[in-house]
């Protein structure tokens, strides 16, 4: 049959388009973060990862970050990632504690000696083992990001562990966190971060504990003025991809995703250092008092927490591996 010239042209175009469709298949991965600022270090780091991916795939793979908790609390985004309704979640390691036990390890109190030690330890093979440990539960651990050190903030200075006695302190939703704060003699109240401001204002809780950028970003300094440097945990952030989404990518694309995530870590750390300094200056300018603490008095209470949670040879080995990193 003779095909009229114009139709032949149409067919050629269609064939071109469909083969393009087969090859190109542009995809935008959706990523969640609860932090409010578009410049928050974790938010910009995932954006950077997306830029790297877009560059390396000629725009075929991209990431769109939904921050400000637009996709729900961390627990909700973890649930969505598990079923493949969301591709990526940047969450703290704490809400993963109940899902994959090895994430308990970097959450443990006074585990890391310094920020530098924490970074080197998380970059080690033991760090990678912890990242990989959530895969059977449906989470591909792509990277750890910095979350600095967490300290207690309250209406009064907390200079020794005795000052924490009886305080109602908000903690992340994790049994380990309840145990850490209970070991201090305080009463732990687990709740999502988004509820802490109102909790402090209404007196539902007396105190909370977090890094300075979260104390700043959620304006908690408006409710309580004393930020006491207990630095009791450096529980890092985790970048998780849905195993369901990950498995749909070609092996080459999976490798690109893993590499771009790892490469965004150095960028995040640099942004973290800058943000901490900015947030510290800001909260001080708003009247917050940053208090020095007898940290040893807190650390001395933590042996039962280690005994209760680091209760398998595997977990004990990981504690040792991280601590042994020079
Ligand atoms: C912040 C983390 C965030 C956690 C939050 C919390 O960046 O991922 O959800 O602490 O305490 O530092 O819940």
Burial-class residue 7 by CB neighbours within 10 Å (0-12, 13-18, 19+). exposed
Distance 250 CA to ligand 1 centre (A): 32
Q: How far apart are CA 42 and CA 67, in angstroms?
A: 10
- Does the pLDDT value for residue 312 go beyond 50? yes
In what order do the strands lie in the sheet containing 88-92?
Answer: 61-66, 27-32, 88-92, 237-242, 139-145
Whether 113 and 183 map to the same domain: the answer is no
Whether 67 and 132 map to the same domain: the answer is yes
Around ligand 1, the residues with Cβ closer than 6 Å are: 34, 74, 91-92, 147, 172, 193, 210-211, 214, 237
- Looking from the CA of residue 209, the nearest atom of ligand 1 is 11
**pLDDT band, very low/low/confident/very high, at 218 (cuts 50, 70, 90):** very high
Whether 44 and 188 map to the same domain: the answer is no
Mutate to test the pocket of ligand 1, among 147, 169, 181 (most ligand atoms within 8 A of CB): 147
Percentage with pLDDT > 70 across the chain: 93
Beta bridge partners of 141: 240
The H or E element spanning position 238 is strand 237-242
Q: Mean pLDDT throughout 132-136?
A: 98
Q: Look at residue 323 and tell me if it is in a domain.
A: no
- Does the pLDDT value for residue 6 go beyond 80? no
Whether 203 and 286 map to the same domain: the answer is yes
Q: Look at residue 176 and tell me if it is in a domain.
A: yes
Structural domain boundaries enclosing 241: 5-147+236-278
Whether 178 and 240 map to the same domain: the answer is no
Give the pLDDT confidence score for residue 25 in this predicted structure: 81
pLDDT, mean over the chain: 94
Q: Look at residue 120 and tell me if it is in a domain.
A: yes
Residue of minimum CA distance from atom 5 in ligand 1: 193
Residue of minimum CA distance from atom 8 in ligand 1: 92
Predicted structure pTM score: 0.92
Q: How far apart are CA 273 and CA 82, in angstroms?
A: 31
Tens of pLDDT, residue by residue over 13-63, are: 333 333 344 456 899 999 999 999 999 999 999 999 999 999 999 999 999
Q: What is the CATH number of the domain that holds 128?
A: 3.40.190.170
Percentage with pLDDT > 90 across the chain: 92
Tokens of 140: 């591909």
Q: Mean pLDDT throughout 99-120?
A: 98
- Does the pLDDT value for residue 222 go beyond 70? yes
Q: How many CA atoms lie within 13 A of 210 on its CB side?
A: 26
- Looking from the CA of residue 235, the nearest atom of ligand 1 is 12
Distance 193 CA to ligand 1 centre (A): 7
Mutate to test the pocket of ligand 1, among 107, 193, 196, 209 (most ligand atoms within 8 A of CB): 193
Whether 113 and 155 map to the same domain: the answer is no
Domain total for the chain? Answer: 2
Distance 147 CA to ligand 1 centre (A): 8
Give the pLDDT confidence score for residue 23 in this predicted structure: 54
- Looking from the CA of residue 170, the nearest atom of ligand 1 is 11
């Amino acid at each position: 049959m003779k095909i009229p010239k114009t139709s032949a042209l149409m067919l050629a175009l269609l064939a071109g388009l469909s083969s393009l469709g087969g090859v190109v298949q542009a995809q935008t991965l959706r990523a969640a973060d609860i932090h409010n600022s578009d410049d928050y270090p974790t938010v910009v780091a995932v954006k950077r990862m997306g830029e790297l991916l877009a560059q390396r795939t000629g725009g075929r793979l991209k990431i769109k970050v939904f921050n400000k908790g637009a996709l729900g609390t961390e627990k909700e985004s973890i649930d969505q990632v598990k079923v493949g309704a969301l591709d990526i979640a940047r969450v703290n390691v704490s809400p993963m504690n109940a899902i994959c036990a090895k994430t308990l390890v970097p959450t443990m109190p006074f585990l890391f000696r310094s920020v530098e030690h924490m970074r080197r330890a998380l970059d080690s093979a033991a760090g990678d083992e912890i990242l990989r440990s959530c895969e059977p539960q449906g989470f591909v651990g792509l990277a750890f990001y910095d979350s600095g050190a967490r300290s207690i903030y309250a209406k009064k200075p907390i200079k020794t562990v005795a000052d924490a006695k009886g305080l109602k302190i908000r903690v992340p939703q994790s049994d380990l966190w309840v145990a850490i704060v209970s070991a201090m003699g305080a009463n732990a109240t687990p709740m999502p971060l988004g509820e802490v401001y109102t909790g402090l204002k209404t007196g539902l809780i007396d105190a909370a504990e977090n890094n300075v950028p979260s104390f700043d970003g959620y304006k908690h300094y408006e409710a309580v003025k004393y930020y006491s440097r207990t630095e009791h945990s450096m529980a890092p952030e985790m970048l998780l991809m849905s195993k369901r989404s990950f498995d749909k990518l070609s092996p080459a694309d999976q490798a690109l995703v893993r590499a771009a995530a790892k490469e965004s870590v150095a960028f995040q750390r640099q942004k973290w250092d800058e943000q901490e300094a900015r947030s510290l200056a800001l909260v001080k300018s708003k009247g917050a008092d940053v208090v020095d603490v007898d940290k040893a008095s807190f650390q001395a209470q933590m042996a039962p927490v280690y005994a209760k949670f680091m209760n398998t040879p595997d977990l004990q080995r990981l504690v040792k591996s991280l601590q042994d990193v020079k």
